[in-house]
Structure 1
Amino acid sequence: MSTFRTSLRIVAAHRVIILVYLLTLSMFGLLMGLSVTDTADEVVDTHATVAVVDRDGSEVSRGVTRYLGSVGEARPLKDSRQALQDATAQNRISYILIIPAGYGQSLQASARQGGKPPALETVVNYESAAGSLMDVRTTSYLEQVRTYLGTVTDDPARAVALADAAMKHTASAELVPQEATPLPRSLLVYAQFSLYPLTAFAIVAVSTLMTSLGRRAVRSRLSAAPVSGWERGRGLMGSCLVVGLMGWAWILCLGVAVFGRGYLVSAAPLLGVVAAALGAYTLVPVSLGFLLGQLGLKENAANVIANIGGLAMSFLGGAWISTDLMPAALVTVARFTPTYWANRAMTGASEVTSVSADTVLPLLTNCGVCALFAVAIFSVGLAVGRTRARSSL
């Protein structure tokens, strides 16, 4: 009896594992990728909704009110606590500026004496960066007025007019084209969050296969077949690789079909790096499943290890949280996980600005380091299998 064909029949008999661990869990990465908005290829000038509560009525306050109305969409707002609370709670206005009484005089006095400028009250919408940008523009405008009051004129109206003229001279912005088309961030996020379902599927499928092959009836039939131990081992290894190939092909094809269809030509080398990273990482859970099967663990234990281990490796490797946000000690630990190196290769492929040997080879080196983890684990599995075989004689 061919070990390879028997193994594939066993995998086919446990097709529920494929449906649950591969197809269903892969939707987790798909949803995370769809939730990401890719950066546009053009510069968009955003206009935030603004409101000014002027309690001063000076030339300076009227000037900054006109300026904010020219760079944003001015909205009326009553000067009451209820109106301010409603506008903030309902997120109707991105930026609210409250100018206290006597602000114009205080700004003029600080310009003459060289002191600190008076403070303003602002309310910035937490759901958008447009409000923060308007706050930067307000500060820049008032700094212009203060500079003119301190160096050119003592007349606030004259200083406001000079600031208005200066702020009209703006520079246009455009994106500098890159030598290589960067991969979309949605594809990177999908690949990162697909490492967990890939881990869970491969470990459970391979360990289940190993457990089934280890049963006395199946083992006796395989041993009675006129094939050498090397051929049986080669067939077993081939069947394990087929399981991993199934998981790798599904995750990669789904990601390319949904997120990378427009990059098959323009960013083919970078897609190749992502495919190599996923392929190198797939070998790790395959070898882990092989090891668990050699240890004789039951299916329930393999399920627990697959799920907890997959979650832990995804977290430590920076697939869910960037390693830049982790403590240094945790990053040191992460370097001893295959997820770290696979994620490093995929992240690098999404950030490079040019495709050359100098940029691609280091990424492929990371894939090679990830594959070394699989080689080490598979070697341990072979040693465990030989030890158990000798002890059973």
Structure 2
Amino acid sequence: MNTCKATLRILAAHKLYIIIYLVLIGVMMLAVGGSALGAVGGGSDATYTPERAKVAVIDRDGNRGHIASAMRSALSEGNDLVDVADDPETLQQAVASNWVDLIVIIPDGYADRMIASVTTDGATDGTDGTAGTDTKAATAAPTVDTVTSYTSGAGSMASMNVTGFLSMTRTTLIGTHVTAHIPGTNDAAGNADANTNAGATTTDSLPEGTVTGLTLHDLAAAATRASDLARDRRTNPGIRIDHTGESAASSEAKSRAALADGFGGMMKTLLYPLFLAMTVCTALVMGVFGTGEVRRRLIASPQRSSAMGMQRMAALCAFALVVVAAYFVVAFVLMLAMGIDPLTLPPAGVAMTAVSTAVYAMMTVACGFMLGETGCGDTMANGFANVFGLLLLFTSGATFPLDMIPAPMLTIGRMLPSWWYCTSIDDAFGIGTAATGGVDVAGWAASLGLVALFALAFACVGLAVGRIRRSRPASAASPVTRLAEA
């Protein structure tokens, strides 16, 4: 019992390793691995949310007709507005450096051309708007200048929104100020013609209209109305994913498979913080108990050295299991924060994953025991844990898809315990490398057995090296000789 307490006190004295390796890196890896669960939280009836584009509106028309302000208001729904100076060098740098996804330039005189586009002679000056014309003879709508980023499709989508806003503004401007003229309503013969042709409506028989008295105030009202419609969720509801083509059972199965895949990926990322923390902490504890003065006091103790060694390892293994349990609690809390119920996970898969993580944690303790028995100091243990831990992480398939990993790295990965730890999780949930496409208990047990064999191998190497070092007490004796006067 005293040995267990001493082990815990050593861990508490070096809590910086625990804070950095277990807490900071552990939570970061869980968050990175759990990012794939974000799409699962929406459920099968989730709406599609397009990517938000960064849009800059350059107004060279002085906001005449409130075109610029209304356009910014309309684009603010679903996009992020940024400010860019109207300078050629700044605009070029913004596009080249991808500061923005879309630049909209409203040219000088655009409001006047918008008003003139609904008239025939275009003689209106945009102030009194006295021209009245036939709407069928209106000119084409004016356009604005746009510069779209070549690295993202979000800018192209936002450009379509700009075109839609301007088209809606022009349509609203015409629709709210057109005066219809029905042919034949002002003469007696017209009534007879209307009765004769009542059953044969053609394009030529449709009512004609004129637009008169347009001003910048009218254009501003039309632009504001178009902006309000663009931001109205009842008029423009979100895009929902249609699942009517598949059965409810199929949709539920896909959702469960995606949830299991995301949770399994999140658990795979734990291999790195677990290896860092438990390897360094175990090597540190073994190094403290292996120093000259402490080792001689333990040898002089009436209790057997093997029994005290078993107590130390039991305390470290218990600490590793507590860490594993804490990681699972954090993972479930993250799922709840994403709106995902952890109870929807397959209980058998979660249980087998917990066993796999516990066995892997025991393997990391055995690796730390081997380092401690070889006499590695803190610096050497940290260096080994970081370098070998990164090798385990990047060859296991936990961070990159297997088809993106070069073949030599895959060969190296299959000779390391991290590969078989990730394979056991795949077999537990029937994901990834699972050969049967479903839960494979036999494959899970075989992969877990290989991880346990790695732990046994590390422990045997540590015991052999430790026995050799203890059989040569001179190598562990203090090099300082103290002279005492009689």
Q: 1:361 Cα shift?
A: 3.3
Q: 1:213 Cα shift?
A: 0.4
1:284 to 355, 363, 375: 363
Q: How does 1:244-259 map to 2 (within 5 A)?
A: 244-259=320-335
Q: Is the 8 A contact 1:180 1:266 kept in 2?
A: no
What per-residue deviation string (whole Å, max 9, x for no partner) do you get for residues 68-102 of structure 1? xxxxxxxxxx99995473698672444999xxxxx
Amino acid at match of 2:468: T
Amino acid at match of 2:457: A
Distance 1:86 1:331, change over 3 A: closer
| Distance (whole Å) between structure 2 residues aligned to residue 377 and residue 79 of structure 1 | 76
The residue aligned with 1:200 is 276
Distance 1:90 1:315, change over 3 A: closer
The residue aligned with 2:318 is 242
| Distance (whole Å) between structure 1 residues aligned to residue 311 and residue 326 of structure 2 | 23
The residue aligned with 2:119 is none
Q: Is the 8 A contact 1:43 1:173 kept in 2?
A: no
- C-alpha RMSD over aligned residues: 3.7
Q: 1:25 Cα shift?
A: 1.2
Distance 1:224 1:265, change over 3 A: farther
Distance 1:88 1:13, change over 3 A: closer
Q: Is the 8 A contact 1:274 1:349 kept in 2?
A: yes
The residue aligned with 2:39 is 38
Q: Structure 2: state its 5+ residue gaps.
A: 52-140, 161-242, 475-486
| Distance (whole Å) between structure 1 residues aligned to residue 305 and residue 152 of structure 2 | 72
Which structure ranks higher in relative contact order (CA pairs < 8 Å, sequence separation ≥ 6)?
1
| Distance (whole Å) between structure 1 residues aligned to residue 6 and residue 408 of structure 2 | 46
Q: Is the 8 A contact 1:195 1:314 kept in 2?
A: yes
2:148 to 81, 85, 91: 85
Amino acid at match of 1:197: P
State which structure, 1 or 2, has the greater radius of gyration over its C-alpha atoms. Answer: 2
Does 2:348 match 1:275? no
Q: Secondary structure at the match of 2:447?
A: helix
Q: Is the 8 A contact 2:349 2:429 kept in 1?
A: yes
Q: 1:302 Cα shift?
A: 0.6
Q: 1:234 Cα shift?
A: 1.6
The residue aligned with 1:19 is 19
Q: Is the 8 A contact 1:317 1:334 kept in 2?
A: yes
Does 2:288 match 1:212? yes
Normalising to structure 2: TM-score of the pair?
Answer: 0.53
| Distance (whole Å) between structure 2 residues aligned to residue 225 and residue 88 of structure 1 | 71
The percentage of aligned residue pairs carrying the same residue is 25
| Distance (whole Å) between structure 2 residues aligned to residue 358 and residue 185 of structure 1 | 12
Amino acid at match of 2:463: L
Q: Is the 8 A contact 2:359 2:452 kept in 1?
A: yes
| Distance (whole Å) between structure 1 residues aligned to residue 145 and residue 19 of structure 2 | 55
Q: Is the 8 A contact 2:269 2:398 kept in 1?
A: yes
More helix per residue: 1
Q: Is the 8 A contact 1:345 1:364 kept in 2?
A: yes
| Distance (whole Å) between structure 1 residues aligned to residue 428 and residue 142 of structure 2 | 52
Q: Secondary structure at the match of 1:297?
A: coil
Q: 1:274 Cα shift?
A: 1.5
Distance 1:197 1:352, change over 3 A: closer
Distance 1:357 1:391, change over 3 A: farther
